[in-house]
């Protein structure tokens, strides 16, 4: 039976993790938006966040509170879906998220891999979240894709992406790594490796090239 109202989303069964663990957040979100549209339910950020969590909990659960959806992760994926980036959808805050033709094709392509959503008993999924640890003044745990979103939202990445690499300065690296000028080299290198590990986990070749260029350009500073 198809969901008839948003509360029915809580009765859906999670997709087995192995079927979606290597799929991007943007594609998974396109899948969720596609089905909300098929069911005639509003494609608000809140509804999409709940559906993302119910279907793909290891990707969309909060890190410290895995029994709840992380709406910020869904919001970041929606930003990646905009025409400027993946070009899957447009969004209007007061109305919802709307897939374009490319977004619909992306969602439909995923159906052959994960199938259609199915109903369960309405209980919260049991979630074990794969995390990447960054050690600093206060240890935190984050999703690999959160690190990637952070990297791609940085001024340093913007310079690289826009062909303005010559304008990048040490202060941009400091902001990128969230360190101080006097931070030990070991810590700076550790943070660079955390980004590289995250990029490898999701097979983001473009980000890996960026990180390699950062390491080469600022080699002296990172190791002093």
pTM exceeds cut of 0.85 = no
C-alpha span between 132 and 140 (Å, rounded): 9
Same domain, 89 and 150: no
pLDDT at 62 over 90: no
pLDDT at 70 over 80: yes
Same domain, 21 and 100: yes
Same domain, 90 and 29: yes
pLDDT at 183 over 50: yes
Q: Let me know if residue 104 belongs to a domain.
A: yes
What CATH number is associated with residue 89?
A: 1.10.10
Q: What is the tally of structural domains in the chain?
A: 2
User: What residues make up the domain containing 23?
Assistant: 6-114
Of 172, 161, 168, 166, which is closest to residue 210 (Cα–Cα)?
A: 161
Sign of CA dihedral 83, 40, 10, 126: negative
pLDDT at 211 over 60: yes
pLDDT at 178: 84
Burial class of residue 133 (count of CB atoms within 10 Å of its CB; 0-12, 13-18, 19+): exposed
Q: Let me know if residue 120 belongs to a domain.
A: no
**Residue-wise pLDDT tens digits, 104-163:** 999 999 998 999 998 875 454 555 544 444 434 343 445 677 788 888 888 899 899 889
Region of poorest pLDDT, from 3-7, 57-61, 99-103, 141-145: 141-145
Q: What is the mean predicted confidence (pLDDT) over 1-26? A: 89
């Amino acid at each position: 039976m198809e969901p008839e109202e948003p509360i029915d989303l809580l009765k859906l069964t999670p997709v087995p993790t192995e079927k979606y663990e290597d799929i991007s957040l943007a594609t998974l979100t396109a899948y969720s938006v596609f089905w909300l549209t098929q069911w005639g339910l509003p494609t608000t950020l809140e509804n999409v966040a709940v559906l993302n969590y119910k279907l793909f909990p290891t990707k969309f659960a909060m890190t410290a509170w895995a029994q709840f959806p992380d709406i910020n992760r869904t919001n970041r994926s929606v930003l990646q879906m905009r025409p400027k980036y993946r070009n899957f959808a447009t969004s209007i805050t007061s109305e919802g998220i709307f897939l374009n033709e490319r977004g619909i094709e992306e969602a439909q392509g995923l159906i052959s891999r994960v199938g259609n959503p199915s109903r369960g008993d309405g209980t919260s999924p049991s979630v074990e979240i794969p995390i990447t640890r960054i050690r600093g003044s206060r240890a935190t745990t984050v999703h690999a894709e959160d690190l990637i979103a952070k990297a791609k939202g940085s001024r340093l990445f913007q310079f690289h992406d826009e062909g303005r690499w010559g304008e990048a300065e040490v202060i941009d690296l400091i902001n990128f790594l969230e360190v101080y000028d006097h931070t030990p080299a070991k810590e700076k290198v550790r943070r660079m490796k955390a980004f590289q590990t995250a990029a490898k986990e999701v097979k983001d070749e473009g980000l890996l090239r960026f990180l390699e260029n950062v390491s080469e350009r600022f080699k002296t500073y990172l190791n002093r």
